[in-house]
Structure 1
Amino acid sequence: MRIVVQRVSRGKVTVDGQVTGEIGRGFVLLIGVTHEDTMQDVDYLVDKVVNLRVFEDEAGKMNLSLLDIGGALLSISQFTLYGDCRKGRRPNFMDAAKPDFANQYYESFNEKARSLGVQVETGVFGAMMDVELVNDGPVTLLLESKRTF
């Protein structure tokens, strides 16, 4: 599993002109699933995301987590995170999980985060989405459940 984490002051996703998810302070997540992922990957990344200490404390140091600040997640499925661009000019998506498998793991990620008391808003799996965000910092991180680079 790969997740692009962007610390935001706000974020919104729209599908066919309808807002499907909107948050204030927190993270916009772009989540990619590969066919080799397991529920252990989901558990690892949920724990990592909600406990990342990248929000500023009263001294201005990145010392607080999403849980500490009561922040929210805007979770967007993103199969293109597994696009391999090393050869040619067209990405190869062979490492991206098939939609049924990917959706199961994406939904499991969201449910596990909700079970920790985090507000989770989402896009629509497989849909064309317009994602708007104000990156705070900017702070953008790449998380992976398996070291591949």
Structure 2
Amino acid sequence: KFGVTAALLPEPIRAYRAEAVRIAQKMAEVLGSHPALAMWQIDNEYGCHDTTLSYSASARGAFRVWLSNRYGTIDRLNEAWGTRFWSMSYDSFAQVDLPNLTQTEASPSHRMDFRRFSSDQVARFHRAQAQAIRAICPEAVITHNFMGAHTSFD
């Protein structure tokens, strides 16, 4: 199922992320002091075609870890998500799946936390490249263009 560019998947693409950081660093070394350089654009159109969402097995595992870090206990997650409604409570984080392919709509809290998790993945990827550039060009202006609300086309 298509869901994301390789850059944003949480695992096992550490090599991809490392290569993106290496390229950003090399570009900063070569171009960073060029007088015509005004700013850096790290990526293009995060969010276009829902490319910030991954429904892979690795994303599922990373989402569970993210939830555990966020809530600490499964009881806190159940309370925050209001899972008592329709007997949707979880006994462990291992039971929490991604909010897709459900019989009916996933709970709004589940979907919101998945979006927050996905946003964190994007920010982590962007931050790693920005840090590589700033290590060489500390005053650099670094941006990208995000299309988060642009999820369908006519």
State TM-score, norm by structure 2. 0.34
1 or 2, which has the higher strand percentage? 1
* Structure whose alpha-carbon radius of gyration is higher: 2
1 or 2, which has the higher helix percentage? 2
State TM-score, norm by structure 1. 0.35
RCO higher in structure (CA 8 A, sep ≥6): 2
